[in-house]
Structure 1
Amino acid sequence: MAPMEEPIASTLAPSPLPHFVIVPLVEQGHTIPMVDLARLLAGRGARVSLITTPVNACRLRGVADQAARAKLPLEFIELPFPTEIHGLPPGIENVDQITDFSHFAPFFDALPKLAGPLEAYLRALAPRPSCIVSDWCNPWTAGVATRLGIPRLFFHGPSCFYSLCDLNAMDHGLHDQTSAAGDDQEKFAVPGMPVHVEVTRATAPGFFKTPGFEAIWERCVEAMLTADGAVVNTFVDLEDEFVARYEAALGKPVWTLGPLCLANEDADAMESRGDMSGVRRSAVTAWLDAMGTGSVVYVNFGSVARKLPRQLFEVGHGLEDSGKPFLWVVKEAEVAAQEVREWLEALEARTAGRGLVVRGWAPQLAVLSHRAVGGFVTHCGWNSLMESIAYSVPVVTWPHFADQFLNERLVVDVLGVGVPIGVTAPVRLFDDETLPVVRGDIARAVSELMGGGNEAGERRRKAKEYGEKAHRAMEKGGSSYEKMTQLIESLRPQVVVEANKTTELEHCMHAVR
């Protein structure tokens, strides 16, 4: 008599880790944190494909080489950047290459043409990827994900504080009020916030607020609302109440995985994010090594904002007048004119021994993590603020546009780690002389940040506390580490195996007996 078969049992067989496709906006401030995200995911064993274009792939060569040496499952996929776009000069593949405001609209018109090549790449993969993580400013990925049935998360660059303000402004009609004609300094309270937040018409939340970009904004919002969740470069101990309320308002999971910059654990990793030669990196490090602990103020306004000569001179004079040691990063485009180069050389001669001017790109993480750096004059881009928080460096806040004014409110009013320089309105991207910040404001803010006294000491204490919390969040058992574990596991393919406990092989064995 043959043995009775036991009921079929369903079990979950070991399954491969998920495959993430990361699609950053081709702009340094958006690409850098998503590259860090890619490295963190790959470091946890997930397969990652980062989508870029040839010019941007060249910039990422150091990261790619380092990932290859570490044998991470991370690949960089180059898609050809669209050509023959009306109004866009050839060769521009990154926002920071734009030198004329009229090129922005055609640049963003070109990006959706990457959808076809991206879809072709994804269709050729077997099996299909587990998830697309695309920048909030890349709404063209939504259709690709829908057609292929791939879950999609959007990556939003700013703080949850900013994103909650923006979402509440949309939901409660504040966007309409601040978009109407009126006094730029008229004040409005942002509804639905757990703390009082006041903005003006000039500093109200909202990306793509410039006339002519309304259609792009609408596509971005639609893609946000149809996504399966959000990824944000922050951590719970920094923004706990804002994270919870943002997730509730959004109605979908918010994965807080930061500070993503802490994916760069050694000097090579920190410097591979930059663009400097080894000689210049060494010169910066050697100069900092000779300075006292916490004595240097670092000055950098990000990859996009550019200062015209009049404003550049005010920055230099303000740093000189502060009397504090400084490391100031200026862009190559800012010092193209002969008069500016000569002026900078004279400034360097007058401040020799306590001032260093770096032309071009600087290894910002290596600078901020150096023991000599005790303060940071920043444009309040969220990457820079997260990096300063991660390395316990208090800041002078000088917002320029977009989310930066609300990021300033968070670090000054809520976190208590910033000194405002006093700007009240955004500047045009290529005209920062309409509302100049004068040298006296710069000297005052730097002196206040770097000086003694109870207030300065309290800022440093809070900055140190947040830095410690940032590192704990990224360690095993920390909130961001565990959130990443949950994200990976939620997307792991589940392979169900149905099998009799008495298998066909066992039937054969019984028959032999």
Structure 2
Amino acid sequence: METKSHEQLHIFFFPYMIQGHFIPLINMAKLFASRGVKSTLITTPLNAPLFSKAIQSSKKLGFDIDILVIKFPTEEVGLPQGCENANLATTREMNEKFIKATFLLQPQIEQILDEHRPHCLVADVFFPWATDVAAKFGIPRIMFHGISFFALCASLSVALYEPHAKLSSDSEVFTIPNFPVEIKLTRSQMPTFPKQSSEFTKLFKEAMESEEKSYGFIVNSFYELEPAFADHYRTVFGRKAWHIGPVSSVSKAADDEASLDQHECLNWLNSKKPNSVVYICFGSTTNFIDSQLLEIAAGLEASGQEFIWVVKREKNDKEEWLPEGFEKRMEGKGVIIRGWAPQVPILEHQAIGAFVTHCGWNSILEGVSAGVPMITWPVSADQFYNEKLVTEVLKTGVVVGVKQWGTVLDVKKEASVKREAIEKAVNQVMVSEEADGMRGRARALREMATRAVEEGGSSFSDLTSLIQELGSPGA
């Protein structure tokens, strides 16, 4: 691979310190390394072991992939030592300090760029200052958002035209302006940040400005999934962008299946009929209150469907979030996993017939890649946009009926989705008249996702052209 000085192309990858952002960027680094590019991931001491574990299999295959560790300035902003992951910033005040700390990383990034002189910096959207830092060393900064083309276009349209600003109430409906299809939302489904939240405001303002100046965007998606929105982003908004996903495919190709230790839930799934089990998981940051978990349990039981439910709760004697005797009644019919679950192998198991999801983009793509219809339960970030893509554009899912956007730090006093709505949505995807149509469309998308990353596929080709562009003089 030729670069300006005939040496190997070297790219730095700098993900934001939260699981939903660093998993796709780690996979991206592995993907570039699999194509002969020297890839270096930048992270902090607490996160480094997770990164090392994730790239182990790629290194065994001889891919040129490394990790650089920088110090996270917790003391400087008044955060407890070791608070190096946004998941650990559990209050609004801690979150503000965490954002402040990420701005203080700039001198260290300058230092390592000066020292290593890579050909490109792929940095998370939440590091807006990275564009100017890369420019200082004459290298392109490519931005990683971690969201879909659909959400990129929608959020840009909403930011430019502010259609929700003129509404008289939060429940009033508006249509996204200058958009390829007609999508309606309410103001209550839009991101809101407290007025006093100066760090959030500064971050989003600077991120928008740095988007204008960055070299381009790298998107974890594939063309066939959202062609109208990929075209709209590149032509109408004039943004340079490459789709190279689903990037999780690189892990499937490289990882040793034995490393899963055959999680017991996979053995349980082996005993089930095809498309007979509902998988419920709300990602790494969503934490529901007890009363909402109680409604989920009651809704699942009422639906009569078999299930695997991933819950962020420790096992203890008195579990207020479960109906009395629930686990005993559900023996053989349902499995509760407390903590981590091997999501990709579960979704890909033929027994899985539906996926109840918070609509985080990584989860949506994993569901699409597995060909599974979805029940959408958005919470925050870009998730209400993703719900619209799944239910109204792709038509591979149904809504559970959430109306209110909220950050993971918002404490709700009562369950927002009742058991009847959960039961109805589950049965709609599993056994209704429209279930077969959804399943057929979901399977067609799975085949497209597989083809996209194969040689000659849309994502494979976009990655090839990006590597060639970065390797040519004047990039």
Q: Compute the TM-score of the two structures, normalised by the length of structure 1.
A: 0.86
Assess if the C-alpha contact under 8 Å between 2:52 and 2:67 holds in 1. no
2:104 partner SS = helix
What's the CA shift for 1:432?
A: 3.9
* RMSD value, Cα: 2.4
Pair 1:108 & 2:99 matched: yes
Q: Comparing 335-344 with 411-420, which one deviates more in the overlay?
A: 335-344
What's the CA shift for 1:184?
A: 1.2
1:307 partner SS = coil
Structure-2 change in CA distance of 1:87 and 1:443 (3 Å): farther
Give the alignment of 1:270-309 within 5 angstroms: 281-309=262-290
Q: Corresponding residue for 1:131?
A: 120
Distance (whole Å) between structure 1 residues aligned to residue 195 and residue 242 of structure 2 = 30
Please list the CA deviations of residues 210-244 of structure 1 after superposition, one character each: whole Å capped at 9, or x if unmatched: 75121111011111111011111111111111111
Structure-2 change in CA distance of 1:345 and 1:268 (3 Å): farther
Structure-2 change in CA distance of 1:344 and 1:30 (3 Å): farther
Q: Corresponding residue for 2:90?
A: 99
Match of 1:359 among 328, 334, 338: 338
Q: For 1:156, give the aligned amino acid.
A: H
Match of 1:447 among 407, 420, 427: 427
Structure-2 change in CA distance of 1:230 and 1:342 (3 Å): closer
Q: For 1:164, give the aligned amino acid.
A: C
Structure-2 change in CA distance of 1:492 and 1:221 (3 Å): same
Distance (whole Å) between structure 1 residues aligned to residue 164 and residue 194 of structure 2 = 10
Please list the CA deviations of residues 135-171 of structure 1 after superposition, one character each: whole Å capped at 9, or x if unmatched: 1122131232121111011011111111111111222
Give the alignment of 1:12-161 within 5 angstroms: 15-125=6-116, 128-161=117-150
Assess if the C-alpha contact under 8 Å between 2:280 and 2:356 holds in 1. yes
Pair 1:401 & 2:388 matched: no
Larger radius of gyration: 1
Pair 1:228 & 2:228 matched: no
Q: For 1:149, give the aligned amino acid.
A: G
Structure-2 change in CA distance of 1:24 and 1:210 (3 Å): farther
Structure-2 change in CA distance of 1:342 and 1:425 (3 Å): closer
Pair 1:465 & 2:456 matched: no
Distance (whole Å) between structure 2 residues aligned to residue 491 and residue 267 of structure 1 = 25
Equivalent residues, number = 470
Distance (whole Å) between structure 2 residues aligned to residue 271 and residue 28 of structure 1 = 23
Assess if the C-alpha contact under 8 Å between 1:298 and 1:328 holds in 2. yes
Q: For 1:257, give the aligned amino acid.
A: I
1:202 partner SS = helix
Structure-2 change in CA distance of 1:149 and 1:346 (3 Å): farther
Unmatched 5+ stretches in structure 1: 1-10, 273-277, 496-513
Unmatched 5+ stretches in structure 2: none
Q: Corresponding residue for 2:354?
A: 375
Match of 1:314 among 266, 272, 295: 295
Distance (whole Å) between structure 1 residues aligned to residue 164 and residue 67 of structure 2 = 38
Distance (whole Å) between structure 1 residues aligned to residue 118 and residue 138 of structure 2 = 10
Match of 1:324 among 281, 289, 305: 305
Q: Corresponding residue for 2:202?
A: 215
Match of 1:188 among 158, 171, 174: 174
Pair 1:387 & 2:374 matched: no
What's the CA shift for 1:435?
A: 5.3
Assess if the C-alpha contact under 8 Å between 2:359 and 2:386 holds in 1. yes
Q: Corresponding residue for 1:508?
A: none
Structure-2 change in CA distance of 1:337 and 1:283 (3 Å): closer
Distance (whole Å) between structure 2 residues aligned to residue 89 and residue 81 of structure 1 = 11
2:54 partner SS = helix
* Percent identity (aligned): 36
Q: For 1:81, give the aligned amino acid.
A: F
Q: Corresponding residue for 1:8?
A: none
What's the CA shift for 1:207?
A: 8.0
Q: Corresponding residue for 2:229?
A: 242
- Higher relative contact order structure (alpha carbons within 8 Å, sequence separation ≥ 6): 1
Q: For 1:79, give the aligned amino acid.
A: I
Q: Corresponding residue for 1:483?
A: 462
Distance (whole Å) between structure 2 residues aligned to residue 384 and residue 12 of structure 1 = 36
Please list the CA deviations of residues 85-143 of structure 1 after superposition, one character each: whole Å capped at 9, or x if unmatched: 44522211112223223211111111111111122112111xx2111111112213123
1:15 partner SS = coil
Q: Compute the TM-score of the two structures, normalised by the length of structure 2.
A: 0.93
What's the CA shift for 1:264?
A: 2.0
Q: For 2:423, give the aligned amino acid.
A: A
Please list the CA deviations of residues 421-460 of structure 1 after superposition, one character each: whole Å capped at 9, or x if unmatched: 011112342424445211111111111111142x111000
Q: For 2:420, give the aligned amino acid.
A: G
Q: For 1:159, give the aligned amino acid.
A: S
Q: For 1:317, give the aligned amino acid.
A: A
Q: Corresponding residue for 1:410?
A: 389
Assess if the C-alpha contact under 8 Å between 2:291 and 2:414 holds in 1. no
Distance (whole Å) between structure 2 residues aligned to residue 44 and residue 289 of structure 1 = 35
